[in-house]
A and B are shown apart, each in its own frame.
Chain A
């Protein structure tokens, strides 16, 4: 099949990008750009659901080819594209009131939709060069979104750091691709997996991939750009960055890492453990809410890497599945937390960084919102019966099942780290509900009303966090198919 209608799944959001921008320019009085984005995403949902059901019913990936560029929609594509669409649609919905009237509103929606399209492309890329192109496209769209508040110096600074470091990573990835291409003469992932020789150059390529994508994934010590970028962007974008964009690096890494013939298990586990620990320590003393959440992402990436590492080490599908489940759960929980933090900033009518102290009395003014935030944070902390608990527990269980004393030790270490994380999540929850100064409370009660378009996306995500915590089996098909695509 050369050019199938399935291809529209990737084409539509990108083709819509200029259209959204132009309609936004043409009509400014109401959120026409947002409306068009939502309509486009609705169409993409239809295409996605049809593709996903085809993948699941056939039990085999859908292959597509345009010239030399190959695409493959498999279980992992469905998982990542699905999560992207969920968060992306809610982010667009949420942004309506959030960025209303800002300069460049129409570019915001165009870029956001384009970013979603790039991520779907990333999920479906079947050759390593193509994968890199989609990856870069995703990152390029996100640069502009990070610096959306361009009057804000800190946002620009964050964007520059993000840009420079991502560019370095991008170069590393190209090095890796070149090394493979030089040895095998192909960039197609399937052919590479079959023909890549075991050599020093291959190993070097692997190292370049881990480091290059690792910058995007925020593997310690490559994570330094993350807290700035994730905290300075508009909150819907923070949710996208933490929830799916950095995970894009993971998806890309999982695709290419199998090409390089060696056991990546221990490497990933060690990197994961370091990430968990350093991310937690950095979050522990953080006073800005969104920076704290950003550091918490560093730690959660560690849990995912840890799960994948166990899976690769023990050749255990359960480990991969648990890592993937955590990827989904983290996307939902962190998305909810960032959106809720943004909603609080909306209530206070400020773009200034939200400090932990600013949360005081918020529970009284915005009970539903703060409850949602609390549920999302408790989920991130791994408190049962929320989603984060289930996936962390599954990671730990597969670790113990691997039957190695070293891994069991790492599991204990990771579990103890959960305690540290509770230390900063509870600090946020405590701050929302504690009322230390009554005068401050009066001030809080004057906060803006949160519109439903902002509240509903948060509530939906929180609902998902609770439902997946009680019924984790719901996603079994999705993670199993995705794990199958990796092995």
Chain B
């Protein structure tokens, strides 16, 4: 029952805003949406009392011969954890947005989208079968599209809309994978219920299971921005920063990891898929961390960082270290949404006094010295950055350490690559902190920047506290999250706390931060990056992956479309025209029978009588 209330709260919020939005206006609509999100969070909290699993069937959604899909929610410790993250972080971001979106002409619409996103995301994590989950899966994709392209007009409108389309289209590739896996599951197991699939897993042969899991992995790669489908996420930063924090850092992009963990029983029986998952995650973690080093846009660095951190989680989930993956998912939701919102605060502060039309308020080359101008934002940013870098005792340290510990048990190569990625993580976030907050201001706007309003800074500080102490969730010796998730995931081994690994990763983190401060702190930044060179240039150009996709997929497809559209000989267009002409001619022919003359109509009746009689004589005995 509570599950329904959780989903219903944001739904009511958005309906109320749809109906009364015009009358209430800013900021009431924003607070209404925030209250709806907060209500969902409160309902989710009440579920913490009871770790037993429960299925809430609302009714039959689809019934077609022997396929019956119930509209059902599943309440277990895994879905509760996800629901808490979604609604908890979601509520803070709603509140933050009231300040951030202040004065936007489409203020109310933004909150309607945010509430809609919460509805879809909650359906996704609470669903009891793949089909209902897919509703949420597509729903969050739609909201992501709407929010990336939220500023579809103005100077950057075309760029933003293109980013939105890119996200949507790349995600469709992933959705194809998820759909395929649903078809396979239905074909082999006759059901799409999670419990039903798990119960029937041993009836399928390994090839089927691997195919099922690999198609699912394609879906994961789309939604959670893994190689080869990660390219949409950095562009998605075109959306308003709160949307980036909520959707493209904390929640939606983690649904892929949630899916792997949810389908853990399947992946455990599909070793090939597991190996591919680990490799995909590991390579994504490394490549994205590398690219992040070469970015100058404050949000792009964080975007690639998100891709990289998602790689850590996917790798962990592929190793079967589900608790580690979920732990990192939760702590990452805290510190990455914190970083995004703090970055938003920075952009807001700089933008506010920006009179130079050529200056991009998101470009870190135009910042510097903001620590003094925006002390609260700075404090929050430092907490997030240290947590991301993995400095003990902040949240990121414990969760990343669990992943590294699991990796050391999986294979040396994986452990080594993930460690390098961890070093790069500390380095790029250190670089960012130095470029943004330290040194001398490099533009007039940065010089005059002011601290953001209370509605923005208060959520920042709450998240900063969470990022600092989030590690408590699963400390090496109490394993709160582990025992909680065990109710759903089954007994897992208590990952031993390896002192050597912990020390090593601490050293790596500090080394990364140290190197960043040595390179970027020692002498004033001039606009020329100290790393500048051919390798760095490759990183700035994102390793030309986007360009390669353009050449290999986008342009040939556009050419094909143009050819089909323009070819006037034996192309599809020609066939299409013939069909249309034929139908039109047939319609013309029939039109003449509709004379409107009563006599003729009665003739029609007599003909009808004869026709029915003939028909019955011919076929009535069949």
Contact = CB atoms under 8 A, between A and B. Distances in A.
Nearest to B591: A285
Interface in A214-237: 214-215, 219-222, 224-225, 227-228
Contacts of B600: 224
A168 B617 CA distance: 23
A54 B601 CA distance: 45
A393 B67 CA distance: 14
Interface stretch (A22-30, A239-247, A260-268, A454-462): A260-268
Given A397-B64, A473-B62, A267 B583 contact: no
Contacts of B591: 281-282, 285
B612 interface: yes
Given A206-B616, A476-B63, A172 B609 contact: yes
A472 interface: yes
A168 B586 CA distance: 29
B7 to A, nearest CB: 14
Contacts of A215: 605, 608
Contacts of A38: none
Interface string A189-216: 0000000000000011011101100110
B616 A267 contact: yes
B57 to A, nearest CB: 12
Nearest to B63: A473
A165 B616 contact: no
B605 A165 contact: yes
B607 A401 contact: no
A46 B593 CA distance: 46
Given A161-B601, A394-B64, A263 B620 contact: yes
Interface string A163-196: 0110011001000000000000000000000000
Nearest to A164: B598
Interface string A260-289: 001111110011000000100110110000
Contacts, number: 117
Among B63, B604, B615, B616, max chain A CB count under 10 A is at B616
A441 interface: no
Contacts of A266: 615, 619-620, 622
A137 interface: no
Nearest to B602: A168
What range describes how many residues of B lie at the interface?
A: 35 or more
Contacts of B594: 224, 227, 282
B608 A221 contact: yes
A265 B619 CA distance: 9
A284 B61 contact: no
A401 B598 CA distance: 42
Contacts of A161: 596, 598, 601
A225 B601 contact: yes
A318 interface: yes
Interface in A45-63: none
Among A215, A224, A263, max chain B CB count under 10 A is at A224
Contact of B65 (A204, A219, A281, A397): A397
Contact of B612 (A169, A267, A470, A473): A267
A304 B604 CA distance: 22
Among A222, A265, A470, max chain B CB count under 10 A is at A222
Interface string B565-599: 00000000000000000011011111101101010
Contact of B605 (A169, A420, A473): A169
Given A263-B620, A471-B59, A473-B63, A164 B602 contact: yes
B611 interface: yes
Interface string A472-486: 111010000000000
Contacts of B615: 266-267, 270-271
B601 A224 contact: yes
A224 B607 CA distance: 12
Interface in B59-85: 59-65, 71
B621 interface: yes
A264 B620 contact: yes
A318 B596 contact: no
Nearest to B604: A221
Contacts of B63: 472-473, 476
B620 A222 contact: no
Contacts of B593: 221, 224
Nearest to A225: B601
Given A203-B616, A264-B620, A266-B619, A284 B611 contact: no
B605 A271 contact: no
Contacts of A204: 613
Interface of B: 59-65, 71, 583-584, 586-591, 593-594, 596, 598, 600-602, 604-605, 607-609, 611-613, 615-617, 619-622
8 nearest A-B residue pairs (beta carbon): A473-B60, A266-B619, A224-B601, A281-B587, A284-B587, A222-B608, A221-B604, A281-B590
27 contacts: A161-B601, A164-B601, A165-B602, A169-B605, A172-B609, A203-B620, A207-B609, A207-B616, A214-B612, A215-B608, A219-B608, A220-B608, A221-B611, A222-B604, A224-B594, A224-B600, A224-B601, A224-B604, A266-B619, A267-B615, A267-B619, A270-B619, A278-B590, A281-B587, A282-B591, A397-B65, A471-B71
